[in-house]
Amino acid sequence: MTSKESSSGKSFSSKSIGWKHSVPTRYVLFLFLVLLFYISLASDLLPERYNIQIGTHSEKEITAPMQIPNNKATLKAQEQEAERVQPIYSILPIRNENLVVSLLERIDRLNQDDQVSREDKVAIYRQEIPQRSQDFILNYVNASRSAGKYTDKLLNELVKVTNQQAYRIPEETFIKMPRLSSEDIMKMKPVAREIVSRLTGDQIVEAQTARAKVAELVSTSSLDQRTAREVVQELSRLAITANKFYDEDLTKEARVQARENTQTVYIKQGDVLVAKGEMITSELYNLLDDSGLLKNKVNYWPQVGLFMLCCLLSFGLLMFIRQSNPNKFKYNNAQLLMLALIFVITIGSMYVAGVLQSNERPYIGYLAPVAIGAMLVTLLLDMSLAFFCAMIFGVLASVILNVHQGQIFDFKFGFFALVVSYVGIFTIHKASQRSTLLKGGIMVCLFGSLAVFMMTLINTGGWNQMQMLYAIGFAFAGGLLTAILVIGLMPFFEVTFGILSALKLVELSNPNHPLLRKLLTETPGTYHHSVMVGNLSEAAAEAIGADGLLCRVGSYYHDIGKTKRPSYFIENQNNMENPHDSIDPKLSKSIIIAHARDGVEMQKEYKLPKPIRDIAEQHHGTTFLHFFYHKALRQAEELGKEPDFTEEDFRYPGPKAQSKESAVVGIADSVEAAVRSLRKPTVEQIESMIEKIIKSRLDDHQFNECDLTMKELDIVGKTLQESVMGIFHSRIEYPEEIKKPASSVASS
């Protein structure tokens, strides 16, 4: 690359580096989106806070911004549930029948001892029998404690109750005990065991109740001796104790469980917490404090959570745009600013519908033209970006249009926003006429209404028939409003941001455009050439994924500058002498290269978009005018003078192609002119010529400033070959056609 080319390229690059390509500006725009999301969602997700003091009167009515737990009412309900829990008793298998048997065995052994007098035996029984009863209980308690079967509190309760309910044997019973023989005691054992076992087999809380049944059982027993019956009766009463005891631990646990199972009492969203003019008591103050509605005790966690949500939405959008082109951002800052403005308009339309909403009329939210954002992004930027933005609009709609209590998101409005946005994208992504936008609006109406009807049927506890009809009607009206707004806003965005949408391109391709009429009437040869270049460049651009429609329309205007001096261009020199034959080559060079600059000026005058002007300015790049350079050299040699010019003086001023579209139009322009110059082109000639043109431009570094790859250049060359053969089919001589005349001459 020469120094002049390098300086030219640098000068153009310096022009393009401004706020539109500034990285800090780009991140400022994304920060703006974060703030936009935060402001949009704050009023719905963050409650208003009040500066209130105890003992003052409230200046306004304070309602619950969301479903709030009522701690006082919940605590009261928990205590009521705990009080409803009855004391819990545990049954302990004491095996009291073993005690009465052991007592009878002790009496038998002592009665058989003749060394002990009757009076001493009575004294021993008076002291030992109650003690044995106490020791029996204590031994059971100690064994159970060692085994870890029961809690200490329960075992202590057993000792306490048995001591309180201890039975005292009458004095006369102790006197009768020494009279019993071994035979008597042998008969008494099974009877006493049966009675105690039978009565303690039931649950006993109060031992006296069970003891009252002993006399009846003894009287119906097999014992016939009066003394034996009396002793069995008293010993059985002594052995019977309570076996069902109050379990404090289980009772407390049950009451704790009852408190935990008690449902939280809530103050519903919209319920009045403090009426206007009401005195602020300590109870009301604590309620507002617990609800986070006081300014003196700010809870920053909701703000942090909302800010993180907004950052997530904006960061996701940033990453999506970055990944759409791994090497660099696909969009410049002007387009990102337009994207931010689309978000502002869409969110604003949601808020207008939200203001009209109420708890009684939530269906008005379907009037919001939520699909407007996705449709504008599709038309002005990119279809894949529109899908991602549609998801964000769905999240925003589910919050902004939500009127339900205790919910952050309303699924119905979020789903509705996704449906209408996706329908709008699919309907208009290939729009080439304004009427297509109206058709897209009709489709949004139909599918939006269908989505509302479907959700109403699924929600069995939803609206009545009249509300459903209202909802469907508002959804239909919202679709029409969407179409109207999109049609109205499209020209604003196209003019303000210089966006060249497909709709605008189709309008510019209309032959009735003043510049195209001028081209057709004043330079018909150039007009025909431009149409041919448009056909060739569109096919080549679409083959490599570039904007084919932009190439076609740009080709129509790329040589508009030739209308200034039409006779100096060969395609317009029908039946006339070439004026270049009689003028200096340097002047010819100036006239030829001026058409690019003149074309840009004319397009500016008619306010054509910049991408169209760029094609006109860049389609020749800095290519070399070989013919006039060598003509000037020959004239200098004939005059015997040293040339006072260089090759650089016979180059177009540029800039070089900055986009794939400009490069493709430049190649197609050269190919069409070259093929047109051939009287009877052959397939081999066309293939060779196209390869030569592309290689010449490649060697001349004309593609250094655009992102065309070698693979794409190869695809462009093959596509142009196919297109040229299709356009000039009748003029091209194929190998078979050439061989036939040759063979006929030889035979003759």
* Confidence class for position 3, pLDDT limits 50, 70, 90: very low
Q: What is the pLDDT averaged over residues 569-588?
A: 81
For 63, which DSSP code? E
Q: Cβ neighbours of residue 336 under 8 Å, at least 6 residues apart?
A: 26, 29, 30, 321
Q: Phi and psi of 151, rounded to 5°?
A: -75, 155
User: Residue 732: what pLDDT?
Assistant: 55
* Angstrom distance (rounded) from CA 346 to CA 400: 12
Please provide the average confidence, as pLDDT, over all residues in the chain: 83
Q: Cβ neighbours of residue 512 under 8 Å, at least 6 residues apart?
A: none
- Identity of the residue numbered 236: S
Q: What is the pLDDT averaged over residues 37-41?
A: 88
* Confidence class for position 663, pLDDT limits 50, 70, 90: very high
User: Residue 666: what pLDDT?
Assistant: 94
Q: Cβ neighbours of residue 99 under 8 Å, at least 6 residues apart?
A: 132, 133, 136, 196, 238, 239
Q: 252-262: per-residue pLDDT in tens?
A: 999 999 988 98
* Angstrom distance (rounded) from CA 229 to CA 317: 98
Where do we find the tokens 């619950």? 64
For 116, which DSSP code? S
* Angstrom distance (rounded) from CA 662 to CA 704: 13
Q: How far is CA 518 from CA 482, 527, 531, 563, 611, in A?
A: 38, 9, 14, 8, 21
Q: Phi and psi of 490, rounded to 5°?
A: -55, -50
- What's the token pair of residue 600? 């840009």
Between 100-109, 156-165, 259-268, the lowest mean confidence (pLDDT) is in 259-268
- Identity of the residue numbered 630: H
Instruction: Write down the H helix ranges in 509-584.
Output: 514-522, 524-543, 548-557
Q: How far is CA 400 from CA 233, 362, 370, 704, in A?
A: 84, 12, 11, 49
Checking if the pLDDT of 273 tops 60, the result is yes
Q: What is the pLDDT averaged over residues 682-703?
A: 90
Between 200-214, 300-314, 564-578, the lowest mean confidence (pLDDT) is in 564-578
* Angstrom distance (rounded) from CA 246 to CA 572: 116
What are the structural domains of the chain? Answer: 3-43+300-499 (1.10.1760.20), 89-246 (no CATH), 504-747 (1.10.3210)
Strands 272-274 and 62-63: antiparallel
- What's the token pair of residue 402? 């939500």
- Work out the widest C-alpha separation in the chain, in whole angstroms: 172
More confident residue, 267 or 741: 267
* Angstrom distance (rounded) from CA 488 to CA 379: 13
* Confidence class for position 327, pLDDT limits 50, 70, 90: very low
Q: How far is CA 366 from CA 397, 400, 413, 595, in A?
A: 10, 12, 7, 55
Helices 710-727/524-543 angle, 10° precision:
130
CA dihedral 504, 505, 507, 511 (to 10 degrees): 160
Q: 182-195: per-residue pLDDT in tens?
A: 898 898 889 989 99
Checking if the pLDDT of 602 tops 60, the result is yes
Q: How far is CA 122 from CA 119, 169, 181, 329, 445, in A?
A: 5, 12, 15, 111, 108
- What's the token pair of residue 346? 């869409």
Q: Cβ neighbours of residue 684 under 8 Å, at least 6 residues apart?
A: 735
SS3 string, 325-375, reads CCCCCCCCHHHHHHHHHHHHHHHHHHHHHHHHCCCCCHHHHHHCCCHHHHH
Burial annotation 706-727 (CB, 10 A radius, 16+ → b, else e):
bebeeebbeebbebbbebbbeb
* Angstrom distance (rounded) from CA 378 to CA 322: 18
